[in-house]
Amino acid sequence: MILAAMASLALASCEKKDPPQPDPDPTGTGKVVMEFFNKVGTADLVLNDKAYVNEHGDTFKVSLFKYYISNVKLNGAKGTYTETESYHLLDQADKPNMNFTMSNVPYDTYTSVTLTIGVDSTRNVSGAQTGALDPVKDMFWTWSTGYIMLKLEGSSPKSPATGGTISFHAGGYAGQYATQRTMTLSLPTAITVNDNGENHVHVDADVLRLFKAPTVFDFSALYAINSAGQKAKDLADNYANMLSVSYAGL
């Protein structure tokens, strides 16, 4: 019996083990679709028609809401994928285009996305731009003050302006009053980019966050921002908290 057991052990030790299999096509790439949904709290944003209430208790309606998303990165187990020419203008009035596709994402498992609300300082001083950064998009002030990172317009009965208008344009790209805000958003479920299909990431943008902590907006006192400075910075500090990921997966 002892000899038989020893023979079995010797035979097992001589058996050839299969080498570890490499990941299928480790150099492959796939697609990730970034989809943005503008919200007011948990409700969908509706332009012109529906009235909302801000943190201060002021009723308001929104007639225009658009903003830049740029420098998008996916953070994965093997490294970070950075989208090239990563500048997107998202406009609530153009809902079919509230998304963009990243087509050359390396195979990997990704757990978070890093992005910027606004346009980086390099592109603010690079002369006339095209595409999403074309000044005809009405998101540009002057060559000295640069791009408007985010724009919201509407009305409120609390506003003392003619017609009760409210107008918040966040701009300023350098120094203490810069209004670009970069954030990393965790994905509720990690996404694996491979040949199994196209992944989608749903990002919610909450309009109410523009007017609450760290600075609560009272529309009777502050109903318009149309230049760079402290007030635009305060608005930017608020919208740094407006994005969250509600879904990630195939």
pLDDT in tens, 193-248: 998 889 999 999 999 999 999 999 999 999 999 999 999 999 999 999 999 999 99
pLDDT at 127: 74
pLDDT category of residue 125 using cuts at 50, 70 and 90: confident
Single-letter code of the amino acid located at 153:
E
pLDDT category of residue 177 using cuts at 50, 70 and 90: very high
pLDDT at 24: 52
Helix residue ranges per DSSP H, the chain: 2-14, 121-124, 230-239
CA angle 101, 242, 224 (to 5 degrees): 115
pLDDT higher than 60, residue 19: no
Q: Which two tokens stand for residue 143?
A: 């060559």
pLDDT at 9: 47
- Angstrom distance (rounded) from CA 68 to CA 106: 25
pLDDT at 25: 57
Report the greatest alpha carbon distance in the chain: 101
Single-letter code of the amino acid located at 20:
P
Judged on CB neighbours under 10 Å (0-12, 13-18, 19+), 75 is middle
Q: For residue 96, give every residue at least 6 positions away whose Cβ sits within 8 Å of its Cβ, in sequence order, or none.
A: none
Q: Which two tokens stand for residue 36?
A: 């943005």
What's the mean per-residue pLDDT of the chain? 91
Q: For residue 86, give every residue at least 6 positions away whose Cβ sits within 8 Å of its Cβ, in sequence order, or none.
A: 70, 71, 72
Q: Model's pTM, two decimal places? A: 0.88
pLDDT at 16: 55
pLDDT in tens, 62-91: 999 999 999 999 999 999 999 999 999 999
Alpha carbons within 13 angstroms on the beta-carbon side of residue 103 total: 2
Q: How far apart are the first and last CA of the chain?
A: 57
Helix (H) or strand (E) holding 99: strand 99-106
